[in-house]
Amino acid sequence: MLRAVAGGVTLAVRAQPGAKRTVVVGVYGEGVAAQLKIALQAPPIEGRANEALVHFLAATFRVPRASVELVSGELSRSKVFLLRGMTEEQARTVLESAPQK
């Protein structure tokens, strides 16, 4: 789910658009293929779900919106985001304390 890379950390996300509210649901899959499952209030239309994910991740990890970049999965539910300026340890700490559904 988390992987340290040059300049930050990548986060694998499984998006669930069209939910009643935006919230971390839990972990989707297991092992190396595990993804953070996030329910999104935004619909999967015209990139709204991707934009909502960027905003949600920036707020959750307390980083500027510009520090969150969608690396892959623009049209898929499975996505990978780059969180710039963050270590894997910092990201893991945030995830462990993030409220879940």
- What are the tens digits of pLDDT across the range 16-33? 999 999 999 999 999 888
What's the confidence (pLDDT) of residue 100?
73
Mean pLDDT of 75-87: 96
Phi, psi for 92 (deg, rounded to 5):
-65, -40
Q: E-assigned strands of the chain? A: 2-5, 8-16, 23-28, 35-39, 68-72, 78-84
Helix 48-61 vs helix 88-97: angle between axes, to the nearest 10 degrees?
A: 100
Residue with tokens 């509210």: 21
Q: How confident is the model at residue 98 (pLDDT cuts 50, 70, 90)?
A: confident
pTM of the model: 0.93
- Cα(37)–Cα(25) distance, integer angstroms: 5
Q: CATH assignment of 2-97, given 3.30.70.580, 3.40.50.1820, 3.30.1200.10, 3.40.50.410?
A: 3.30.1200.10
pLDDT confidence of residue 97:
85
Annotated domain spans of the chain: 2-97
Please give the span between the terminal C-alpha atoms of the chain, in angstroms, as a whole number.
18
Task: State residue 32's pLDDT score.
Answer: 85
